[in-house]
Amino acid sequence: MRNLLDFDFDSAHIWHPYTSMPRSLPVFGVHSAKGCELELVDGRKLVDGTSSWWACVHGYAHPEILTAMEKQLHQLSHVMFGGITHEPAIELCKKLIAMTCEPLTKVFLCDSGSISVEVAIKMALQYWQGQSLQGKSWQGQSSQEQIAHQELPLKQRILTVKKGYHGDTFAAMSVCDPEGGMHTMFGDAVTKQSFVPAPQTAFGEALQADDLTAMRDILSINHHEIAAVIIEPIMQGAGGMRFYSADYLVGLRALCDEFDVLLILDEIATGFGRTGKLFAYEHANITPDILCLGKALTGGYISLAATLCTDNVAQGISQSPAGVFMHGPTFMGNPLACAAACASVDLINRNEWQAQVAAIEQQMRLELKDAINLPSVKDVRVLGAVGVLEMHEPVNTAELQQQFVDLGVWVRPFANLIYIMPPYVISPAQLSQLTRAMKLVATSIKASSACAEPQLISHG
C-alpha cells in the first residue's frame, strides 16, 4: 500500500477549481494514469470519462507523446519567444496551418484556452483600429452619417450568443453567458458585450425560420460598433452541452459577411475530432476569420493553445496604431509544449480518431437511449464522443462524484448535467462501464441529491 497523500494539508491550503476554501469539496488522490484509467493512491482504478476536462484524447502515458516530450526536455525545455524561434514551434504551426481551413495562415501560440480567446478578442479589436485608420466605411452608413463622424467610430464590442462559455479570464468571461456566467459577480470590472439568444435548432435539423432573427436585428442596427461575433461551433460546452444546427453557422457566416463583422470560432473543446469532424466548423462547411484551439492540442499533456487568423486580419492589425499585435506571454511557444502538441497532432493526422469517435458515438447512442425513461432525466444527447444526460434539476456534484468513484469511474457532473467525453482510445468494455454508471447514478437521484443553490456556468 502506498503512502496516502496529505489530504488535510490539501484541504487547508490548496485551492481547487470552483471551490470554497473554508468548505472545500472532497478530492481524490491520483497516483498515476495509463490509457483510459486513473489509479488512485489507495490502488483503486477509475475509467476516465472526462479526458481530464476534455483534453486527453489519446489517453494517458501515450508512448509517442512521452518520447517527444522527454527528447525535447533534454534539448530545450524553455526559451523566450521574443526575438527567438525554434523547431517545435515552427513544426507545430506548419501542422496547424495544414490541417485547418485554407484562409487561416497566421498562428499565435498561447498559454491556455482562455488566453486563446483573449488573444482572439484583441486581434479583432486591433484589426478594426487598423481599418479605422485606413478610413474604411461600414455598409449601411449614409453619406450624412459618414460626414457627421469625421472620424469613423471604432468597432469595440463583441457580439455572442447566450449559454456560451469561453474561459475564466476577464475578456473571456465578458463573452460568457450574461445571466449564468461567473462574470456576473464582478460587475463593471468586466467589459459589457452584446448578446442574443442561443441557437434553438437542434443538430441535424433544418434551421428554424426565426433562429437567426435576433442576430440579424442587432447586426443591422449596431454593426458599426461590433468588431466580431464569437461562438462555440455546433456544441455549446460548459453552457449546457447543447448541440445546435450546422445551418445556424452557415447563416451566421453570411450575416458576418453582410455586415462586415469578423467571425471568431472557439474550437477549444470541439477541435481535433470531438464532434465527429476534425473541427466542428466542418459540419457547416464554413471558415472563420479567427480560430481558437486548445485542450486536445497537446493531447492534454501540458498547457498550450493557439489562435489562428487570416492574412486579412493580420494585415489589419499591422495597420493599427501600435503597428504590432500587443500580446506576448512569458511562456509563449514553450518548446516542451510545442513538442507534445506536434506528437498529438501527428496522432490525429493518422485519422484513427475517425473510426474511434464513430464507434464511441454509436455505442453511446445504443447504451444511453433508454435513460430517457428515468424520472430524473430530461433529455439524452449524443454527438461524436460526447454523451449527455440532462437532468430536470441541478445535481449535487460532490454526492454524485462519490457514487461514480464507488462504481469505478471518473465522471464529474456539473449544473444539471451528467456527461462523458472519454478518450478516443477507450475500449468498448470501458465505455459500457461509463454508460452503466451514468444510468445507475441518474436512477439514484432523488430530491435530496438535487442542488438547490443557483450555480454559475463553469465546466465543473
Q: What is the pLDDT of residue 451?
A: 59
Per-residue HEC secondary structure of 17-61 comes to CCCCCCCCCCCCCEEEEEECEEEECCCCEEEECCHHHHCCCCCEC
**What's the whole-number average pLDDT of the chain?**
93
Residue keyed to cell 436585428: 217
One-letter amino acid at 257 equals: D
What value does the mean pLDDT take over residues 334-355? 99
The CA–CA distances, whole Å, from 17 to 14, 54, 209, 394 equal: 10, 15, 40, 19
* Strands 377-383 and 30-34, sheet pairing: unpaired
Q: Quick one: 210 exposed, middle or buried, by C-beta within 10 A (0-12, 13-18, 19+)? A: exposed
Q: What is the pLDDT of residue 139?
A: 52
Q: What is the pLDDT of residue 143?
A: 42
Q: Would residue 311 show up in a list of annotated catalytic residues for this protein?
A: no
Distance CA 430, CA 113 (A): 29
The CA–CA distances, whole Å, from 4 to 43, 74, 195, 231 equal: 10, 31, 48, 43
Topology classification of domain 7-61+351-449: Aspartate Aminotransferase, domain 1 (3.90.1150)
Q: Is the Cβ–Cβ distance between 120 and 292 less than 8 Å?
A: yes
What backbone torsions phi and psi does residue 79 show, to the nearest 5 degrees? Answer: -155, 145
Is the per-residue pLDDT at 310 higher than 50? Answer: yes
Catalytic residue among 295, 301, 419, 439: 295
Is the per-residue pLDDT at 2 higher than 90? Answer: no
Q: How far does Cα 419 stand from its chain's mean position?
A: 15
What residue ranges of the chain are covered by domains with CATH 3.90.1150.10?
7-61+351-449
- Span of 126-140, 293-307, 377-391, 431-445 with lowest mean pLDDT: 126-140
What single-letter DSSP state applies at residue 134? T
- Span of 188-192, 227-231, 265-269 with lowest mean pLDDT: 188-192
The grid coordinates listed for 429 are 468494455
One-letter amino acid at 413 equals: P
Catalytic residue among 177, 211, 260, 266: 266
What residue ranges of the chain are covered by domains with CATH 3.40.640.10?
76-349
* Strands 157-161 and 45-48, sheet pairing: unpaired
Q: Would residue 266 show up in a list of annotated catalytic residues for this protein?
A: yes
Rg, the chain, Cα only: 23
Distance CA 37, CA 433 (A): 12
What value does the mean pLDDT take over residues 348-371? 99
Q: How far does Cα 302 stand from its chain's mean position?
A: 16
Instruction: Encode burial over 346-373: b for 16+ CB neighbours within 10 A, e otherwise.
Output: ebbeeeebeebbeebbebbeebbeebee
CATH code given to domain 76-349: 3.40.640.10
Listing DSSP states for 228-254 in one string gives EEEE-SSEE-TTT-EEB-HHHHHHHHH
What value does the mean pLDDT take over residues 406-416? 97
The per-residue pLDDT for range 85-121, each reduced to its tens digit, is 999 999 999 999 999 999 999 999 999 999 999 999 9
| Higher-confidence position of 189 and 67 | 67
Number of other residues whose CB lies within 10 A of the CB of residue 185: 10
Q: What is the pLDDT of residue 171?
A: 95
pTM of the model: 0.93
Q: What is the pLDDT of residue 149?
A: 44
The grid coordinates listed for 381 are 444527447
Is the per-residue pLDDT at 3 higher than 90? Answer: no
Catalytic residue among 165, 244, 301, 419: 165
Distance CA 345, CA 295 (A): 12
What single-letter DSSP state applies at residue 192? P
| Backbone dihedral region for residue 157 (phi beyond 0: left; psi -120 to 50: alpha; all else: beta) | beta
Q: How far does Cα 138 stand from its chain's mean position?
A: 31
